[in-house]
Amino acid sequence: MLNGENVFLRAVEESDLPQLMAWRNLPQLRKYFREYREINLPMQKRWFESIAANDKNTLMFSICHRETGELLGCCGLCSIHWVHRHAEISLYIGHREAYIDTDGYALDGSRVLLGYAFRQLNLHKVWAEIYAFDHPKKGLLHTLGFRQEGILRDHCFYDGRWWDSLLFSLLQEEFDKKEGDTA
């Protein structure tokens, strides 16, 4: 278990899957995800068995409220490259259908996840790809100290038009400087 101020991260459990599936199917959240289809429970279980539980290059966590244990969302490090020491961050808050909430759960969960990535896994860089219309996550990434480093032009078709994908990254030394090196 990884503890933050208001949340803790724990391994995704099979009992989390129905709630995670329900959140992932909400149109107002799904528009931000690469998986554009409605997913059903067998699909969610296949993801859990093949990726969350068995892919050595993916570490997924349930975000839970620190006091109540209530499931709030999901986060993880994906496409981990152990030689080059980088990974893609994944995170959403499903609680109250927030996506990136104003209660601070996404920020706290991100800080815990990044601390784990940099201080325990010794990753050098964590990166993110978001769609240009994803203003909530863009704001979160900026707050965390991520810097935009690239654009994939016309990379996503949504709501009748083409959108760019934006690439962001955060280096270990940037995180340590912003958060204070408590290693």
Q: Does this model's pTM top 0.85?
A: yes
The residues pairing with 65 across neighbouring beta strands, listed in sequence order, are: 7
- CB burial of 110-143 (b: ≥16 within 10 Å; e: otherwise) equals bbbbbbbbbbeeebebbbbbbbbbbebbbebbee
- Alpha-carbon distances, residue 21 vs 16, 18, 39, 171 (angstroms): 9, 5, 7, 32
Pairing of strands 147-158, 71-81: unpaired
CB-based contacts of 40: which residues, under 8 Å, 6+ apart? 21
Beta bridge partners of 62: 10, 74
* Average pLDDT estimate for 59-72: 98
Q: What is the pLDDT of residues 85-118, one digit of tens each?
A: 999 999 999 999 999 999 999 999 999 999 999 9
Per-residue pLDDT band for 183 (boundaries 50, 70, 90) equals: very low
Sign (positive/negative) of CA torsion 138, 143, 88, 20? negative
Q: What is the pLDDT of residue 181?
A: 58
pLDDT over threshold 60, residue 9? yes
Task: Answer whether residue 182 shows pLDDT above 80.
Answer: no
